[in-house]
Amino acid sequence: MKNDKNMTAAVSCALTIAGSDSGGGAGIQADLKTFTMHHVYGLSVVTALTAQNTMGVHGIYVPDPGFVALQLEKVLEDFPVKAAKTGMLFSSEIIEEVAGVLRSEQLPLVVDPVCVSQTGHKLLKDDAVQALKKEILPLAALITPNKPEAELLCGISIDSMEDVLQAMNILMDMGVKAVLIKGGHFEVQDEMVDWLGIAGADPVSVVRPRISTRNTHGTGCTLSAAITANVAKGQDITAAVQKARDYLQKALETSFDLGHGDGPVNHLL
């Protein structure tokens, strides 16, 4: 195939810093599939290996934090990365190493604060929560917590619109520039409502019909990866979120009924 340098120059690069999912529905695998479907070149830094399937996470192997940092350094020194996201960071040591590298970069960062897997397995050590708040959140252009994650980070219960607004303000006080609180854990029958707050602007609702399916494995990873891809292509946060939510909606509508547990969404749109 002919090497078209003009085509190469036009390619946008997006980076995921996250754990590997051997089941392919979440983590690095979901992120790279999502990047590809958004026509951006996907790069990866692996923070952990998991042995998992649709039934749950059965083991975690964590590389040396210095090696995680080395992956990140080598990717950033050679590729024109336009946006990055974090997923499973697991430990305070890994968080500190990742933050140490990212702090010197002018890079839009989407933070998916992965704390617990869909099947209830802890993906973030207890001592890592404070490190995430101190080291990573001040670097974030956007954070995408679900209700339990937002409650953990903010130290409050979120049961009303007033609580959502308070959580957004708490997260922005930590240095986050924008917050997307996802609505999957709120009890609304017919609609899925996410709330997007951007510093200096009124919060807006991102509303889509609720889809009745058990195949929701990897939804958070997929959404944050789609947002990252859109940001890498030059879209602002609001447009990136809206378009990413459309992609996730279609991925849920056509999700795969695989395995004996909660199947994955369909990234191949």
The one catalytic residue among 147, 182, 222, 228? 182
27, 42, 87, 221: the active-site residue: 221
Evaluate whether 246 touches 7 at the Cβ level (below 8 Å). Answer: no
Of the residues 23, 27, 183, 218, which is catalytic?
218
218 assigned to active site = yes
CA atoms within 13 A on the CB side of 196: 16
**Distance, CA of 65 to CA of 180 (rounded, Å):** 28
Spatial CB neighbours of 113, under 8 Å, sequence gap ≥ 6: 124, 132, 143, 144, 145, 149, 153
Task: Please identify which of the residues 144, 219, 222, 228 carries the catalytic annotation.
Answer: 219
Task: Indicate which residue of 197, 220, 228, 263 is catalytic.
Answer: 220
Q: Is the CB of residue 250 less than 8 Å from the CB of residue 243?
A: no
Closest to 62 in 3D by CA, of 100, 15, 18, 29 = 18
Residue from 190, 149, 177, 168 nearest 238 by CA: 177
182 catalytic residue (yes or no): yes
Query: What backbone torsions phi and psi does residue 177 show, to the nearest 5 degrees?
Result: -85, -25
**Catalytic entry in 47, 86, 216, 228:** 216
Helices H / strands E in the chain, number of each = 9, 9
Nearest in space to 85 (alpha carbons), one of 148, 35, 129: 35
Q: Is 219 a catalytic residue?
A: yes
- Tokens at 207, concatenated: 């509303």
Q: Is 234 a catalytic residue?
A: no
The alpha carbon torsion through 119, 124, 126, 130 (nearest 10 deg) reads -140
Determine whether 221 is an active site residue: yes
DSSP assignment of 143-185 equals E---HHHHHHHHTS---SHHHHHHHHHHHHHTT-SEEEE--TT
Q: Which residues are catalytic?
A: 182, 216, 218-221
